[in-house]
Chains A and B, each alone.
Chain A
């Protein structure tokens, strides 16, 4: 039995301990905001926070997060008004929107570490998150907008 916290709620899991956190969230908890894009840690669609740090849930097994705190896009802010979410709406970032939960989680983690990131910081932190629709310019703009706004 694995115990963990997801968006503040205690959860118990007695399935395959090797199951990636991604599928546990999506298929068992029906938290479908976290997306599947590649399954090998190279696209960032599945990004969640584990104890506050961005992590790819497709290559993180449930047993790896035993006793830890997992936050998904659904739990980033109870009113969905985290400064990053607000900036994303203001800049009309999303096209199809599929990658954006991962982008937002990655950006929120970046801003926690570096409240005023430079373009270089953004390149480094966000290079693992693919957007096939090509919204990068607005992602950069929205991160700068959210920078310095209290989360």
Chain B
């Protein structure tokens, strides 16, 4: 349910719109609230603002963060289409962090899913109000007035939206039932796309990312954090650091109080005239650390303990039938164990922020996925109110989940308060990789009994990984919403199935990385399915379709993060598997020594994705990926080019992680530090061609930014098996000698 209303200028605290503008606000309300906002409704806090200016400009606020998905373009485009205005007249105003925009956390691939409807409703509402304003002005029935392409016409009457703005603002807001939506055939932009708003500035070097924010009088800070998570400062000798040319002062930041949540880690900051001087000064610090409780964290022994956990019965996450009884019958049993390492986000732009503390209030400029969390985190760190924190959202040089955790903005705010100047905190790449909120390491154990055709009769899967909930609860050991990410919702038609999850303790900060737990879950499930198919010597497409079974609806909606209204439909799963087989020419492609094809299917963020990966292995064992085919059912596609580009990028991201991504700890210290020892895919290593086949579908739009990642690792490993006979059960692939 959405509430849409005219916003009086006083009702909008910003300076986005002029006094004469017709401004509509729209807010998503809980299901049980009344549309007029009189009952059960939260306070009037619109998410979407649309302004029609008397001079003809159309201003639409973008309340989501732009990190490369094109969302700053795509959502306003939906509104502009329904309103029927020329895209060239539209200006996008980036929203600051403010509860008045409703939920702004750009995470979980939700932006289009959550806001598509309200964008269309807002556009249709404004269009009808413009028609009614015209009717009133000309004294003709509203039914004769047609709003199209920025103007309303009726017979010989004609007026632009801008000319009608003032009168439109005085019209009663129409009820939802009165609205007339465009038919898909009438769409001008939806399903076709428009130029990406930020492209011209990006190629000119003018786009402003967080690191480019410049505030008069600002100073630069580089921060030394404890080398082991949870360490604290015993003492600091900063005498040499202070001698470095350009260094102004050295400041402490207090250590966080568990649970760590989004708090700053704490440490010692060198403040200087420029970034270089701050970094040089920091090298001269002599900090005596109390390293704390995590110095025994070692990836090798931790891996062992994860495997010990998954070899024993654990907490049941989902149960169908009775796997134990089925296994007890004997017959053919297959078992396999899989391992996926810890990973770091490593967005090209390391985390950074500018903050200015003045008169008890903070203004921040930050590349953040979650400006309201910035408000709350900064407020908590400084002991002020959230409304006294203003967060300007810059462009993000990549986010991938890291930039929804605003510890770095709180660092800048604390330092600004301490030094009395605006401060830019700049994390080095080493800081960024070593003090990340890491993607969890995971171990998985799989077991299946199969019938004479190799089809599973019982299927058991067990996993263990340090959970994200450790952010908020020091005692957390079990997965929470991670279970709904490709573990409790495996869509196979097997009479006896059980998914389990064992405990694991976190010794570093754990966070979510592009597609989260789907990465390791899909790796185990889709690799194991391929193992069973190989053992049965069956065609992979035919086998996977057999596993998925008949078209039916699975009741996984109650498992977070699945959303009501998005049931798991195995018919759609089948269709993407069939489509990717067709488009990749699967039936004609034959794997042989050194050259193979692999298949995987995974549904995440309500999007169904099947991938076929082609690999070439040379005589030295180097892996090349000439081609990836994706078939994608993401429901209604709003901006096809940006959907395709997200999948192109996901193929590179997913392949890079699978081939070479690994973070390890020894004595509690992270052993990788920069792109030389935490490599990511480069142009010569990335898939050469990625073909994205979008299914035509009017189902509600689903997530796009993440779901291309999970099928990559298993499809790639399945292809390597086809080419070499070597089964990769441990990522990254580079650890296995292929020849």
User: CB within 8 Å of B: which residues of A?
Assistant: 15-16, 19-20, 23, 26-28, 30-40, 42-43, 45, 72-74, 76, 80, 85, 88-89, 92, 94-101, 104, 122-124, 126-140
CB pair A97–B204 under 8 Å, yes or no, is: no
Residue among B67, B245, B429 with most chain A CB within 10 A: B429
Complex CA–CA separation, A6 to B66 (angstroms)? 31
Complex CA–CA separation, A97 to B651 (angstroms)? 18
Bitwise, B53-88 to A at CB < 8 A (1) or not (0) is 000000000000011111000000000000000000
Contacts A38-B675, A40-B676, A42-B675; A133 near B200 (Cβ below 8 A): no
Let me know if B20 is at the binding interface, CB within 8 A.
no
B64 shortest CB reach to chain A, Å = 14
A19 CB contacts on chain B under 8 angstroms: 274, 276-277
CB pair A36–B350 under 8 Å, yes or no, is: yes
CB pair A132–B346 under 8 Å, yes or no, is: yes
Bitwise, B670-697 to A at CB < 8 A (1) or not (0) is 0000111000111110111110000000
A86 shortest CB reach to chain B, Å = 8
Task: Select one of B275, B279, B397, B641 contacting A92, CB under 8 A.
Answer: B641
Q: Is the interface of A mostly helix, strand, loop or mixed?
A: loop
Contacts A20-B276, A73-B204; A39 near B428 (Cβ below 8 A): yes
CB pair B398–A130 under 8 Å, yes or no, is: no
CB pair A38–B429 under 8 Å, yes or no, is: yes
CB pair B348–A99 under 8 Å, yes or no, is: yes
B202 CB contacts on chain A under 8 angstroms: 94, 97, 100-101
Residue ID in chain A nearest B276 by CB atoms: A23
Given contacts A20-B276, A134-B650, list 19 more A-B pairs with CB under 8 A: A16-B246, A35-B211, A36-B211, A36-B426, A43-B429, A94-B68, A94-B198, A94-B202, A96-B349, A98-B209, A98-B395, A130-B675, A131-B348, A132-B653, A133-B348, A134-B653, A136-B681, A136-B686, A139-B683
Contacts A35-B348, A132-B680; A96 near B274 (Cβ below 8 A): no
Complex CA–CA separation, A22 to B690 (angstroms)? 34
Let me know if B378 is at the binding interface, CB within 8 A.
no
A42 CB contacts on chain B under 8 angstroms: 674-676
B211 CB contacts on chain A under 8 angstroms: 26, 32, 35-36
A73 shortest CB reach to chain B, Å = 3
CB pair A94–B196 under 8 Å, yes or no, is: yes
Query: Lowest 9 CB-CB distances: which A-B pairs, in order?
Result: A33-B205, A134-B652, A98-B397, A95-B68, A73-B205, A96-B68, A97-B202, A134-B649, A80-B204
CB pair A43–B67 under 8 Å, yes or no, is: no
CB pair B275–A26 under 8 Å, yes or no, is: yes
Complex CA–CA separation, A137 to B204 (angstroms)? 21
Let me know if B385 is at the binding interface, CB within 8 A.
no
Let me know if B207 is at the binding interface, CB within 8 A.
yes
CB pair B205–A133 under 8 Å, yes or no, is: no
Complex CA–CA separation, A126 to B687 (angstroms)? 15
B207 CB contacts on chain A under 8 angstroms: 97
A96 shortest CB reach to chain B, Å = 3
Contacts A16-B246, A89-B199, A127-B684; A132 near B276 (Cβ below 8 A): no
A74 CB contacts on chain B under 8 angstroms: 204-206
Let me know if B220 is at the binding interface, CB within 8 A.
yes
Cβ < 8 Å to A, chain B residues 505-532:
none
CB pair B246–A136 under 8 Å, yes or no, is: no
Let me know if B103 is at the binding interface, CB within 8 A.
no
Contacts A23-B274, A73-B204; A96 near B674 (Cβ below 8 A): no
CB pair A85–B203 under 8 Å, yes or no, is: yes
Complex CA–CA separation, A33 to B212 (angstroms)? 8
A133 CB contacts on chain B under 8 angstroms: 68, 348, 398, 649, 652-653
Size of the B side of the interface (Cβ < 8 Å), in residues, is 67
Let me know if B241 is at the binding interface, CB within 8 A.
no
Complex CA–CA separation, A138 to B206 (angstroms)? 21
Residue ID in chain A nearest B682 by CB atoms: A127
Complex CA–CA separation, A132 to B650 (angstroms)? 10
Let me know if B580 is at the binding interface, CB within 8 A.
no
Residue among B68, B681, B686, B690 with most chain A CB within 10 A: B68
A136 CB contacts on chain B under 8 angstroms: 652, 681-683, 686
CB pair A95–B276 under 8 Å, yes or no, is: no
Let me know if B347 is at the binding interface, CB within 8 A.
yes
Residue among A76, A88, A94, A96 with most chain B CB within 10 A: A96
Let me know if B396 is at the binding interface, CB within 8 A.
yes
Complex CA–CA separation, A39 to B276 (angstroms)? 10
A135 shortest CB reach to chain B, Å = 7
Complex CA–CA separation, A32 to B274 (angstroms)? 13
Cβ < 8 Å to A, chain B residues 300-329:
none
Residue ID in chain B nearest A80 by CB atoms: B204
A99 CB contacts on chain B under 8 angstroms: 348, 397
Residue ID in chain A nearest B200 by CB atoms: A89
Complex CA–CA separation, A106 to B686 (angstroms)? 18
A70 shortest CB reach to chain B, Å = 14
B67 CB contacts on chain A under 8 angstroms: 95-96
Task: Select one of B276, B683, B690 contacting A16, CB under 8 A.
Answer: B276
Bitwise, B201-241 to A at CB < 8 A (1) or not (0) is 01111111101101000001000000000000000000000
Let me know if B98 is at the binding interface, CB within 8 A.
no
CB pair B429–A39 under 8 Å, yes or no, is: yes
A128 CB contacts on chain B under 8 angstroms: 682
CB pair B398–A38 under 8 Å, yes or no, is: no
CB pair B645–A89 under 8 Å, yes or no, is: no
Residue ID in chain A nearest B208 by CB atoms: A32
Complex CA–CA separation, A20 to B69 (angstroms)? 32
| A-B CB contact pairs (8 Å), 16 listed | A28-B274, A30-B214, A31-B205, A32-B205, A35-B349, A36-B426, A38-B429, A96-B66, A96-B67, A96-B396, A97-B209, A97-B397, A104-B203, A129-B682, A134-B652, A134-B653
Residue ID in chain A nearest B649 by CB atoms: A134
Task: Select one of B196, B209, B648 contacting A137, CB under 8 A.
Answer: B648
B645 CB contacts on chain A under 8 angstroms: 92, 95, 135, 138
Task: Select one of A76, A92, A98, A129 contacting B199, CB under 8 A.
Answer: A92
A101 CB contacts on chain B under 8 angstroms: 202, 205
CB pair B348–A130 under 8 Å, yes or no, is: yes
